[in-house]
Every structure is written in C-alpha cells, then in structure tokens.
C-alpha cells in the first residue's frame, strides 16, 4: 500500500490510511507492534482471537485459538 502525500487530520479518515512504512520505506512504530503481535501468535504466546465458543447461536465455532 502506497504512502501518499496527504495532510493528516481528523477530517480525512479514509485518506489517512498510510501504511506501515514511511515515504523512505522505513518502518513506522506500528510496524514493530504488528511484527511483535505476529511473532507472539506464531510462538503460541497469544491466541489469534478471543472468540467465545459458548456464545449464543454458535453451533460450530471457528478455530481461532492458538496456532499449532
């Protein structure tokens, strides 16, 4: 996803989606958070979803728990 040169502000909600890399292709702070989350999911430290399998109307809940 490209990082377009737009002004930041609360009015441009859709236009402020700029991605995880800067214009110089350096990672932003959010990139490190995403990397840490994916590493935790892969290592099994956290689950991928906090889906309640006992929820109402749930006959066959999706398998969103820890990865093998």
Residue 47 pLDDT:
66
Q: Which residue has the higher pLDDT, 67 or 39?
A: 39
Cα 15 from Cα 10, distance rounded (Å):
10
What is the residue extent of each domain of the chain?
A: 1-47
Phi, psi of 48 (to 5 degrees): -85, -15
Q: 13 pLDDT exceeds 80?
A: no
Report residue 5's pLDDT band, with 50, 70 and 90 as the boundaries.
Answer: low
Cα 47 from Cα 30, distance rounded (Å):
20
Structure tokens at 32: 């490190």
What digits encode the pLDDT tens for the residues 14-66?
Answer: 655 667 877 778 888 888 988 998 888 888 787 666 555 555 555 555 555 55
Cα 30 from Cα 22, distance rounded (Å):
11
């Amino acid at each position: 996803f490209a990082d377009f040169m737009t002004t930041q502000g609360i009015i441009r909600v859709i236009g402020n989606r700029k991605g995880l890399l800067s214009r110089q292709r350096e990672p932003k702070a959010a990139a490190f958070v995403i990397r840490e989350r994916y590493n935790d999911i892969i290592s099994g430290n956290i689950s991928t979803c906090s889906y309640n399998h006992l929820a109402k109307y749930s006959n066959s809940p999706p398998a969103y728990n820890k990865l093998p």
